[in-house]
Structure 1
Amino acid sequence: MTTSTLQRTPRATINRTADQNRRRKRFAPYMLLIPAIAILLFGLGYPVIWQIVTSFQKYGALQQLGGQAAPFVGFDNYIAVATNPEFWGVVVRSLVFCIATAFITLAIGMLFALLMTVIGKAARLTLQIGLLLAWAMPVVAATTVWIWLFDRRRGAINYLLDMIPGVNMNRFDWIGTPSTFFIVASVIVIWMSVPFVAFSAYAALTQVSEEVLEAAALDGASGWKRFTNIIFPTIRPVVSIVLLLQLIWDLRVFTQITLLQDAGSKGSDFDLLGTYIYKSGVAGLDFGQGSAMALFVLALTIALSWFYIRSLLKEDKQS
């Protein structure tokens, strides 16, 4: 466009065009988010709404088969769940389990990540391949292998422990009592979760400035001080989100517990929230109470997520 043409163009038209361009740029990110939000609402919105409605109904086998309308019972399902001591025992057990496994997983994963930063290229590649294989192994296949390892008759774990002088582990039933049952479950969950934590932490560690670490080492800072004062503050956002994800995943663990129960006892003392809700709602054909329990788990998950989001918002304001 020539200078004379620009001079003949009204200033109002130029301003209007600039405003339109700014408006498009401002709304473009939101327009790009619409397809993802629509998919989430369609895929997750309907099941959640169905559960909310069902939690206020007496929904059993007849309603599932379509033979009878589900009567509205108000808050009866929630009252029944809230006054059920067995349910609260499962809640406490699930919280202890998910907190213990999440923090142990985080600690082991961090150690693997730090190890990958100091070993040679060949050793690091071998370790990464091993972690990837453990992570890529299907849950059912991995749990089945671990059940074989802990088998009381032919398991390799009992065989190796029995070789230790003074230790008698002959035909010890690991999944026969709740305490050892959840030890085995923790081992399986941690083994399958460590690779994710290790790779996430290692990716964060690669962003730590080598110059700052070298300067701290020259100033006489020990390895522990370099970790606590430089490394960990740098990777803390990644560690926080990884820990949150582990807490959520371990709170909802289902497949490993179900397969272990299939190989051992199916009593309620061996349940976590996932298996307990399944037994009460689906297997027990009481979908109303099952939905109420499921919504409790959803609320608990949202509470954990909101605590993390609020802490992030506080950090942003302080910075």
Structure 2
Amino acid sequence: MSAADTTTPAKVPPPRQAPPPPAAARSGRRRATSGQAATPWLLLAPCLLILALVMAYPLVRLVTLSFQKFGQPQLWGFQSADWVGLTNFTQVLTDGEFWAVVLRTVVFAVGSVVFTMVIGMAIALLQQRVSGWVKTLINIVLVASWGMPVIVATTVFKWLFDSDYGVFNALLSKLPGVHMIGHNWFASGPEGLAVIMLLVVWGAVPFVVITLSAGLTQVPRELEEAARLDGAGAWGVFRYVTLPVLKPIIVMLTTLSVIWDMGVFPQVFVMRGGHPEAEFQVLNTYSYDRAFVVNDYAQGSAIALITVLLLLGVVAVYMRQMLKIGEVE
């Protein structure tokens, strides 16, 4: 054995650990973290305060009225408002007319949402395949129609579908074998609601198109090219590439459209001259009718509160879908 083999190996000192930060540094770091967490709430505070001031009292008053007996005698102060518990809700929920209105509202909202999303998606996809000036022209038309006040748009549609002077009847009558002059679209509930649905879709499509067009710019072109190289057609590229990317936007737009279309009021109210017939009643007009026509403010408030709860159910479904999308991503 050589001398080199008997040499005692040198001991390597253990690595030195950094000393812990002083208490002042740790407390400063905690303050910085808490400050960063509080910053979003400070930025949202003005908006939340305004919402509380604008919505808190009406919502509390709505809930209060729904549990009271409140008509014109109570409104003018001749009688005190008596608490009746769940009587108003019982009367509403056991009324067959109310459930007919709910069904009509749901069918109206679903039809409006489906047509809005389909037409909006079609126009958004079309904008990706036209020249720049045509796309600009389409956007100008969409913004102009979107910015038109609801009352003005409703008046225009009343003229378009007028039984005597309506442009739509005149155009249909030019088709062979079609005679629509003098046809009253509002003589029956289904036809009249179809016209109102068309009005709602016409006003909602611009927002959907603009939002979907912005979302389509985020679809990776290389994924579309790879799908085409793999033999996918236009429908395959749309289904397996475009739709998954647009899913969060589609869920958001669908939920907002359901909320807006279930809460439709001015289109129906103005189209029927301020007095919607029974076959044209939706939840909002029905609540207004019970409160300000029948003068049963308590029952109108109960119907409005039930409507709010139904819309909160839609919001809950939306939040659940968005959380699922976030977990997958």
- The bucket for the TM-score relative to the shorter chain is over 0.9
Instruction: Give the structure 2 partner of residue 292 of structure 1.
Output: 302
1:143 aligns with 2:144: no
1:83 aligns with 2:83: no
Note the C-alpha offset of 1:66. 3.1
Instruction: Give the structure 1 partner of residue 290 of structure 2.
Output: 280
Instruction: Give the structure 2 partner of residue 175 of structure 1.
Output: 186
SS at match of 1:118: coil
C-alpha distance after superposition, 1:217-247 (max 9, x if no partner): 2332211111000001001100111011111
Whole-Å Cα distance in 2 between the matches of residues 95 and 58 of structure 1? 29
Structure 1 residues 62-141: aligned runs within 5 Å: 62-141=73-152
- In structure 2, runs of 5+ residues without a counterpart are 1-20
Note the C-alpha offset of 1:167. 1.1
Instruction: Give the structure 2 partner of residue 312 of structure 1.
Output: 322
Instruction: Give the structure 1 partner of residue 218 of structure 2.
Output: 207
Give the aligned residue type for 2:115.
Answer: I
Note the C-alpha offset of 1:139. 0.5
8 Å Cα contact 2:68/2:85 also seen in 1: yes
Whole-Å Cα distance in 2 between the matches of residues 93 and 13 of structure 1? 65
Give the aligned residue type for 1:306.
Answer: A
Percent identity of paired positions between Structure 1 and Structure 2? 36
Aligned equivalent of 1:189, options 195, 200, 225: 200
Aligned equivalent of 1:34, options 25, 42, 45: 45
C-alpha distance after superposition, 1:23-76 (max 9, x if no partner): 212222223222222222221121111111100111111222233321111111
Give the aligned residue type for 2:294.
Answer: G
Instruction: Give the structure 2 partner of residue 49 of structure 1.
Output: 60
Note the C-alpha offset of 1:165. 1.4
Give the aligned residue type for 1:301.
Answer: L
Instruction: Give the structure 2 partner of residue 256 of structure 1.
Output: 267
SS at match of 2:162: coil
SS at match of 1:69: coil
Instruction: Give the structure 1 partner of residue 242 of structure 2.
Output: 231
SS at match of 1:278: helix
SS at match of 1:285: coil
Give the aligned residue type for 1:183.
Answer: A
Aligned equivalent of 1:220, options 221, 231, 235: 231
Note the C-alpha offset of 1:214. 1.9
Note the C-alpha offset of 1:145. 0.6
Aligned equivalent of 1:160, options 171, 180, 205: 171
1:245 aligns with 2:256: yes
SS at match of 2:83: coil
SS at match of 2:273: helix
Whole-Å Cα distance in 1 between the matches of residues 92 and 141 of structure 2? 44
8 Å Cα contact 1:175/1:260 also seen in 2: no
Whole-Å Cα distance in 1 between the matches of residues 103 and 120 of structure 2? 25
Note the C-alpha offset of 1:168. 1.6
Whole-Å Cα distance in 1 between the matches of residues 33 and 254 of structure 2? 39
**TM-score of the superposed pair, with normalisation by structure 1:** 0.93
More helix by share: 1
SS at match of 1:144: helix
Whole-Å Cα distance in 2 between the matches of residues 72 and 210 of structure 1? 63
Q: Please, what is the CA RMSD of the aligned residues?
A: 1.5
SS at match of 1:165: coil
8 Å Cα contact 1:102/1:243 also seen in 2: yes
Choose 163-172 or 248-257, whichever is displaced more. 163-172
Whole-Å Cα distance in 2 between the matches of residues 110 and 224 of structure 1? 13
Note the C-alpha offset of 1:181. 0.5
Whole-Å Cα distance in 2 between the matches of residues 273 and 22 of structure 1? 47
1:268 aligns with 2:262: no
